[in-house]
Amino acid sequence: MSEDLHATRGYEVRHRTEYTYEDYVTASYSRACLRPRATGYQRVLSNVIEVSPGADVLTEHTDFWGNYSHYLEVRTRHTVLAVDKTSRVSITWPRVDLDRLNEWTVGSAADAFAARPDAVDTGFLLPSRLVALTPAVRAYAAEHLPRARPLGDALAGVYGLIYGDFTYAKGSTSTTTTLDEILGEKQGVCQDFAHLGCGMLRAAGLPARYVSGYIETTPPPGKPKLAGSDATHAWVSCAVPGGDWVDLDPTNNHFADSRYIVTAWGRDFRDVSPLKGVIFTESGGSKLKVAVDVIPLKDRPAMMGAE
């Protein structure tokens, strides 16, 4: 019997960000998205944030998109800054009903949103800094998302197209890589593929948001899962008529399921960066180390390196 990927799952997510500097930092000021958001299919059971050295200020509010945004201020002199987040969530992601979606076409869905500009935030229809709707992006979208194409097939086609046409190449791009560069090089990482998916859908008149979070991964057969071996993940969410959103993952070639943990969403990566800020220092450089564990709650004692 095949595994039911939409059954309820529980996870503990551990995310550690550590900066090591060559000289003392006298003050650090940061913004971060560190707490998963509650959705209709995701329940946040707990969330703990720890900062070392201890934060002089650590506040939380919701941003324009409804994400939890944290402000961190550290005024203790330090050469290492570590931010640890430990979250527990329960997830039951719904199945995508392709037959229902295919009652619409790309064109009729786009027309429905154009006729009701109040139905969804227009920020998810417009270009953004990292999702520029250039002539190349519009041409790519027009070729693969014609107005007459059934909507469900079109959404599945977006993740299948990007998965098939582009090579996953870690380190080949940066947080400022443009969509034209991705189209030209035909390679990138999940962030790039999510940006491209958003660009295609917005160019076709469909609201699309960039989603940041995590996905459960499994080690090779016969190998233990090593602590810190997971990573953050990014994918695309598209609004459909009726008020629902459909999440699709071009990196892994399928719709999202109960292995997906949502932290935040926005127009692009810049809206949902896990940690960014400014420091005061004479240091000539720094090293960044990120360790992520996505642990099924039932597997916590068996996790190699887990406490």
pLDDT at 1 over 90: no
How far are the Cα atoms of 32, 109, 289 from residue 150, in angstroms, in the given order? 38, 10, 44
Greatest pairwise CA separation for the chain in angstroms: 61
Cβ-contact 294, 217 below 8 angstroms: yes
Same domain for 296 and 250, yes or no, is no
- pLDDT tens, 249-305? 999 999 999 999 999 999 999 999 999 999 999 888 899 999 999 999 986 544 333
Report the predicted TM-score, pTM, of the whole model to 2 decimal places.
Answer: 0.93
Same domain for 74 and 105, yes or no, is no
Average pLDDT in the 198-211 region? 98
Same domain for 259 and 277, yes or no, is no
Give the span between the Cα atoms of 200 and 239, in whole angstroms.
13
How far are the Cα atoms of 2, 58, 85, 187, 191 from residue 34, in angstroms, in the given order? 34, 12, 7, 28, 18
Which of 7, 246, 247 is CA-nearest to residue 104? 246
Same domain for 106 and 252, yes or no, is yes
Same domain for 70 and 217, yes or no, is no
Same domain for 106 and 220, yes or no, is yes
How many independent structural domains does the chain possess?
2
Question: Do β-strands 167-168 and 187-188 pair in parallel, antiparallel, or remain unpaired?
Answer: parallel
Within a domain: 185: yes
How far are the Cα atoms of 13, 71, 174 from residue 32, in angstroms, in the given order? 16, 7, 19
Domain that holds residue 48: 9-91+272-302
- pLDDT tens, 115-145? 998 889 999 999 999 999 999 999 999 999 9
Same domain for 188 and 172, yes or no, is yes
- The CATH number of the domain where 35 resides is what? 2.60.40.2250
Same domain for 47 and 106, yes or no, is no
Alpha helices in 38-150 (DSSP H): 98-101, 106-115, 135-144
Same domain for 38 and 146, yes or no, is no
Same domain for 138 and 260, yes or no, is yes
Give the span between the Cα atoms of 162 and 11, in whole angstroms.
28
Residue 307, pLDDT score:
34
Within a domain: 81: yes
The whole-chain average pLDDT of the chain stands at 93
Within a domain: 4: no
Residue 302, pLDDT score:
40
CA dihedral 230, 234, 240, 242 (to 10 degrees): 60
Q: CB 199: neighbour CB atoms within 10 A?
A: 29
Alpha helices in 81-178 (DSSP H): 98-101, 106-115, 135-144, 151-165
Within a domain: 1: no
Same domain for 124 and 174, yes or no, is yes
Percent of the chain with pLDDT over 70: 95
Which of 208, 216, 211 is CA-nearest to residue 191? 211
Same domain for 59 and 199, yes or no, is no
Give the span between the Cα atoms of 269 and 235, in whole angstroms.
11
State residue 132 phi and psi, 5-degree precision: -80, 130
